[in-house]
Amino acid sequence: MAGSNERARRRARERHEQLRQTRLERYQRNRKRAGIGLVVLCVIGLVVGLSVALIGGGTPKAAAKPKASTTATATASSTATATAAAVSEPAHQCTYTSTAPSGSKPSLPTSSPDYSATYTASLNTNLGPIKINLLNSKATCTVNSFVHLAETNFFNKTQCWRVDNSDGLYMLQCGDPTAGANDKLSCSSATLGSGGPGYEFDDENLTGATYNAGTVAMANGGPNTDGSQFFLVFKNTSLPASYPPFGTITSGLDILQNVAKAGTSCSLSASVGGGVPKEKIIIDSVTIKKT
């Protein structure tokens, strides 16, 4: 009888833990989809408020109106111990913290990056190649992760799921594994923009970060939650320095501009901004060149 009671208690504990994990993952997805939107809106409010105070009323000209959520990974919260701000670049050691459900083992990048290497990447898309110079000396752990994901075919046959051509935010967002090449993306999808590699890592290269045309930066849902999603800027934009720049586009900027001009097939929520590109852009593969 005692053994039967113990088994029952154990099953109850297991059910409780599964329920807790499910709720945690759902909370993380929702938090990350909206996180950047809240941050950006707060920044805009502060800028507008200061402008009004300084010029004594009138109609201040907002520097930007980004209302986006550059969402990245979903699942459990990060427990990374390293603080990006304390790491001098190029980093000699990287920390990648699993966010995968209990029992799963994501493919993690090496913790010892080749910090002296020079990397370039080619996003081989259905619309043509987009060439990128990766900033390994300034965002070593970010580049190390991107190279790992590219070399393990993580980005292959995925769609860039979001384009924003609004005032102040000009970007195309990619790297979500839930946006498959053959999928018909819907702005009402609960999973769109929530996918990640099963790990997170800390921010880098944020001091003085700017987002001019040609910048490639990490999308995230808050400090130190970088994963697989990234965005490519096709026109100078004014985002807060919260998204680690890790590359510069050397050719293919016109591809992004043409996708933006084509517009969107549907609009995402106001807290996210932009919408699904009307002209589908698929990453067939990513080629890395190391020298």
Phi-psi region of 120 (alpha: psi -120 to 50; beta: other; left: phi over 0): beta
For residues 139 and 113, the answer to whether their CB atoms sit within 8 Å is: no
pTM above 0.85, yes or no: no
Domains and CATH numbers, the chain: 25-290 (2.40.100.10)
Give the integer Cα–Cα distance in Å for 268 and 185.
11
Give the integer Cα–Cα distance in Å for 230 and 124.
15
For residues 71 and 190, the answer to whether their CB atoms sit within 8 Å is: no
Give the integer Cα–Cα distance in Å for 161 and 270.
16
Q: Supply the pLDDT for residue 87.
A: 56
**Both structure tokens of 17:** 């833990």
Q: Supply the pLDDT for residue 168.
A: 79
On the 0-12 / 13-18 / 19+ scale of CB atoms within 10 A, 255 is: buried
Angle at 257 between CA 291 and CA 225, to 5 degrees: 60
Phi, psi (deg, nearest 5) at residue 136: -65, -30
Give the integer Cα–Cα distance in Å for 145 and 122.
15
Chunked into runs of 10 residues, the chain (291 residues) has average pLDDT values of 52 52 51 43 37 27 36 33 55 97 93 98 98 98 98 98 91 97 95 96 97 97 97 95 98 98 94 94 98 94
Q: Return the closest-CA partner of residue 163 out of 41, 90, 256, 65.
A: 256
Q: Supply the pLDDT for residue 256.
A: 98
